Amino acid sequence: MKPELVFNDLSVCKAASRTSAAEWFSTLMETVADLIDEGICKAELHADRNLYELDLIPDEYGFQEWVDDPATDHDLRILAWHLTTMTPVAKRFYADVQHTDDFVRSEFFCGTERCEALGVALCWDGIAVSLPSSKSWCVPEIAIAQHLYDEDLTTCRCISHRVRHASMPEHVDSVIDNWRHAALEKITSVTELIEHWSLLLPQLDLCVERDRKTLPSLSNRDTLYSVLGRLYSLNRSCERWQRGGTGGPEYDFRARPESKETLARDELKQQRIATCPRRGEAVFEMHGKVQPAGYRMYWFENAVEQRFTIGYIGPHLGTVRHKAQ
């Protein structure tokens, strides 16, 4: 499920100096390193040419010279040695994607230039990466046009797209967030969710008793999609919490702690106790609404690690004012 990295060959151009060329290569590789270190991407890059064939100053300075330069960051040089370049850019795409008919009948343009690599990144739902060689490539997404021809190849319609893209380390967080949101929207079952949980929701844990307390309620499609939206939001809240330091988490939806009166009754408190894989048994006080009406999600705020543990999803639990549904 990890997104493929696709190199945008349009970003290759002549550099004004060896210093500029070295900075472009270093920035690109720092960006790739961050994407790999976040556990999002493999150490593979799909490109029309092997990186070692790139010369930014003809017959004088290219990727090979950058790798051999003692001034190049040691960790980036190691990454370059271990980074596998898959060529041509569409080879693995044809092998992995079941329905390539639309791609075969398409031409992709960035402005007036053909951009097959960006088209591959789009259709593969991957991440395009570029040299930061101009302002056009120093953005977290790139606008392209797809000219999709009919089966007779006589007429076509033009479709506008935006390709997920990074050329600088500061693009990485927004690109990863965008990819996770899109990937969660494609989850169709509990099995898929659990299989990809750590990749899509790295700041969230499931309680140890998840089969009994959490997962049975996700069999309904509307409930599943509602829960996926809440989980995505909670994961983002944790990320902000971690960046914000000592303050408590901020939520994108109405989230409330259970009332003290309800928790004071042992039989009601027991309904909200589950086991955190990182902290042991805990009371899952925080809760918010999910679909259908009357359903709730309960979670535990792990203040030590600034993470959440999901403890219960289902009909609203009993309170001092309301019976359990």
Pairing between β-strand 156-166 and β-strand 141-149 as defined by DSSP bridges? antiparallel
For residues 171 and 226, membership in a common domain is answered with no
Choosing from 115, 148, 175, the residue where a domain stops is 175
For residues 199 and 224, membership in a common domain is answered with yes
What pTM was computed for the model? 0.89
What rounded mean pLDDT belongs to the chain?
A: 92
pLDDT range class, residue 238, cuts 50, 70, 90: very high
**Residue 67: is its pLDDT beyond 60?**
yes
For residues 109 and 19, membership in a common domain is answered with yes
169 CB neighbour count, 10 Å cutoff: 14
Choosing from 151, 175, 199, the residue where a domain stops is 175
User: What is the predicted pLDDT for the residue at 213?
Assistant: 60
Choosing from 123, 144, 175, the residue where a domain stops is 175
pLDDT cut 90: percent of the chain above it:
77
For residues 171 and 192, membership in a common domain is answered with no
Can you tell me the mean pLDDT for 115-127? 95
* Residue 96 structural domain: 5-175
**320 in any annotated domain:** no
Number of domains in the chain: 2
User: What is the predicted pLDDT for the residue at 218?
Assistant: 72
> For the segment 149-160, what is each residue's pLDDT rounded down to a tens digit?
988 878 889 999
For residues 143 and 210, membership in a common domain is answered with no
User: What is the predicted pLDDT for the residue at 184?
Assistant: 95
Helix (H, G, I), strand (E, B) or coil at 285: coil
Q: Give exposure, 227-258, as e/b (b: 16+ Cβ within 10 Å).
A: bbbbbbebbbbbbebeeeeeeebebeeebeeb
Angstrom CA distances, 240 to 21, 63, 234, 237, 246, stand at 35, 37, 10, 5, 11
User: What is the predicted pLDDT for the residue at 256?
Assistant: 94
For residues 146 and 272, membership in a common domain is answered with no
The residue whose two tokens read 């996700």 is: 218
